[in-house]
Amino acid sequence: MTEPLDLLAVGAHPDDAEMTSGGYLCLAANQGYRTGVLHLTRGEMGTHGTPEQREAEARDAAKIMGCAAIEFAGMRDGSVNDDEASVRTVVDMLRKLKPKVVLAPNLVCHHPDHEAAARLARKAVHFAALNGYKTDLPAHRIQRLVTSRYSQHFEPSFF
């Protein structure tokens, strides 16, 4: 059985969660919280590096940030969406990792995969808590969903 996480960052591609939530992950890990990262894809459409390199770099980054868990959901880069199969995949990951808090992309972004990841995370957080949403794992209620954003033109709601 996996020990529950306190904080899980979700990103569409390797490097997304690190860039938007890396500071939170490092701070939380340094304070003794169990943290993790869920990458929806391996970034296979990226301009720099192969999927294998990007996965290896993401694993190295997770170690540096003190993450207790890193997972890859196996979705296709450029095709992330919030269909039933994708929601079920992320629900299973949430039920496996049991985070208290999920950090997800903001719904408004310049990249279609990031926007899809935001919708997907929001749906999965909802359905993960429902006993009636059947998967191989029992329901798990996430206490809080927090969003992060890339944009330079962003007014944070808290500091």
For the sheet with 144-148, list strands across it: 69-72, 35-39, 7-11, 101-105, 144-148
- Looking at residue 153, its pLDDT comes to 60
CA quadruple 90, 92, 21, 69: dihedral positive or negative?
Answer: negative
- Looking at residue 9, its pLDDT comes to 97
Residue from 35, 142, 22, 147 nearest 94 by CA: 142
68 secondary structure, DSSP code? S
Measured distance between the N- and C-terminal CA atoms of the chain, rounded to whole angstroms: 35
Tokens 């997907």 correspond to what residue? 120
CB atoms within 10 A of CB 155: 5
- Looking at residue 139, its pLDDT comes to 98
- Looking at residue 109, its pLDDT comes to 66
The model carries a pTM of 0.91
- Looking at residue 152, its pLDDT comes to 56
State which residues of the chain have pLDDT below 50: none
CATH architecture of 7-148: 3-Layer(aba) Sandwich (3.40)
- For the chain, domain boundaries: 7-148
Distance, CA of 42 to CA of 50 (rounded, Å): 9
User: Which element (helix H / strand E) includes 100?
Assistant: none
- Looking at residue 106, its pLDDT comes to 81
Per residue in 53-92, pLDDT tens? Answer: 999 999 999 999 999 999 999 999 989 999 999 999 999 9
Distances (CA, A) of 84 to 26, 42, 80, 119, 129: 32, 20, 12, 12, 16
